[in-house]
Amino acid sequence: MEKSARRIRQFEATLVPGLLQTPEYATALFRTRPGVTERQVAAKVAVRLERQRILTRRRPRAPELDVIVDESVLRRPILDRDAWLAQLAHLANANRLPTVTVRVLPLAAGPHAASVASSFHIFEFPTQGTRPPEPTTVYSENLTGALYLDKPAEIGAYDDVWRTLDTLALSQEDSEDLLAVIIREGVDD
């Protein structure tokens, strides 16, 4: 869905979004899976990096990626501190891509509408010639699989949650400032 989307809205409550992960961060995540070999980790990281190429492609046009990340994600380091700090800097730099927006939902926001929804993506698709676009789809992963939702009421519920997150999240500039503060704190520790 990422390849054909016109716009991707993503709320991430637990991890750095896959499309914005550094190889080191992705490696650390994939190593947490029980029984995974280093060869499997390397293959999964390679796929993740390949997926990220959609953000800088020219044809078809790169999708808009609007991300809201819970502040707790930014404060949860991986074991390799330098790799974690590099990941945070990578998030701040991603904000400079013309089609990417990274914003932070501050801890001070408290419980919110997405607290029960957890992480999710909303994919919006372009029109193709005279055909109408594919229906907007919500994607949400869980421990044993994933949900794909495309009924109007389901999309409406997630749109409502997104609007709430959008009002609670810091601006793009304030998010970059918070990332800089967290990086400084990590360097000083």
- Beta-sheet strands, E only, within 64-182: 64-70, 100-105, 120-124, 137-142, 145-149
Place of tokens 């932070």: 104
Provide, for the chain, the percentages of residues in helix, strand and coil under a 3-state DSSP scheme, each rounded to the nearest 5.
45, 20, 35
Tokens representing 173 are 């500039």
Report the alpha-carbon distance of residue 189 to residue 185 in Å, rounded: 6
Residue type present at position 166: D
Walk along the chain (189 residues) in steps of 10 and give the mean pLDDT of each run.
Answer: 96 96 97 94 97 94 97 95 96 94 96 86 91 93 91 96 97 96 89
Per-residue pLDDT, 189: 73
